[in-house]
Amino acid sequence: MTYCAVLLLLVVAYLLGSIPSAVWIGKHYFGVDVREHGSKNAGATNMLRVLGFRAALPVFVIDFMKGFVAVTLMGLMRLDPSVSTAWVINFKIFAVVAAVVGHIFPIFAGFRGGKGVSTLIGAVTAIQPNLAVLCFAVWVLVFVFTHYVSLASIVAGCCFPVFVAIFSTTLYSRYGDFSWIFIIFSVVVALMMLWTHRSNIARLRRGEESKTYLWKKRK
């Protein structure tokens, strides 16, 4: 029964991640398939670049909530007495993976999605809000000084395992508990950020990456 419940929640996490908010909002309200413009990714960053802040904000909120809700629902497994606290955390991490995979390969949009950053932020916030706040602070600092959304996302993603390691070490010193799975997960996240942004990295190296200004008027 426990395995069936976990499998069902993972399917739900994937389906939540598969909600193509950028595609649906772009087509319905702006008559634009954002996957055919800009970086061709169905995410908040490309919506901001192509259609502006008014279009990007609801996409970010929805994508954030996809990850947050997926992890929160998996937290219901703590009600199962046969599941330990450590495995509840493990199941939440599995839910993160399922939701992000759903965002990148959405079943409702021909498996052509975004890079999963907003969904990942929402999922990590549900697991440990303090770490999400730290990563967001790094993102804001890099973005404010460079105006490169991609660079801000890459740097914040690479800082994530550092913050997780510090957090895990602090927990160990206080409670004698240490989660290797959380650290491994954070490293995988950093590597995934580098992989999904490989085209952006190439453009940054060539000096061809587009800068984004939140309040710049678009024609």
| pLDDT value, residue 66 | 97
Same domain, 151 and 185: yes
- In angstroms, the CA 64 to CA 131 distance is 15
Same domain, 49 and 135: no
Percent of the chain at pLDDT above 90? 49
Do the Cβ atoms of 59 and 44 come closer than 8 Å? yes
Do the Cβ atoms of 68 and 88 come closer than 8 Å? no
**pLDDT, tens digit (0-9, with 9 covering 90-100), for 132-146:** 889 989 999 999 999
In the block, tokens 């389906």 appear at 15
- For residue 209, the surrounding DSSP H or E stretch is none
Using the 3D structure, point to which of 105, 127, 149 is the last residue of a domain. 127
* pLDDT at residue 196 greater than cutoff 70: yes
- What's the length of the chain? 219
Which range among 13-17, 189-193, 199-203 has the greatest average pLDDT? 13-17
Using the 3D structure, point to which of 127, 150, 167 is the last residue of a domain. 127
- In angstroms, the CA 168 to CA 113 distance is 32
The mean per-residue pLDDT over the stretch 63-84 comes to: 91
The mean per-residue pLDDT over the stretch 78-99 comes to: 85
Same domain, 34 and 120: yes
Tell me how many helices (H) and strands (E) the chain has: 10, 0
All residues at 6 or more sequence positions from 112 whose CB lies less than 8 Å from its CB, including other chains: 35, 42, 105, 106
Q: What is the overall mean pLDDT for the chain?
A: 87
Do the Cβ atoms of 95 and 6 come closer than 8 Å? no
Looking at per-residue pLDDT, the higher value among 179 and 67 belongs to 67
Angle between helix 53-74 and helix 2-17 axes, rounded to 10 deg: 180
For residue 25, being part of any structural domain is answered with yes
| pLDDT value, residue 215 | 61
Do the Cβ atoms of 123 and 74 come closer than 8 Å? no
| pLDDT value, residue 197 | 85
Identity of the residue numbered 146: T
What's the domain range around 116? 1-127
Same domain, 111 and 147: no
The mean per-residue pLDDT over the stretch 152-177 comes to: 79
Same domain, 122 and 134: no
The mean per-residue pLDDT over the stretch 147-174 comes to: 83
- In angstroms, the CA 132 to CA 158 distance is 13
How would residue 174 be classed by pLDDT, with cut points 50, 70 and 90?
Answer: low
How would residue 219 be classed by pLDDT, with cut points 50, 70 and 90?
Answer: very low
**pLDDT, tens digit (0-9, with 9 covering 90-100), for 13-62:** 999 999 999 999 999 999 999 999 987 889 888 898 888 889 999 999 99
Same domain, 56 and 12: yes
- In angstroms, the CA 129 to CA 181 distance is 18
Enter the pTM of the model: 0.79
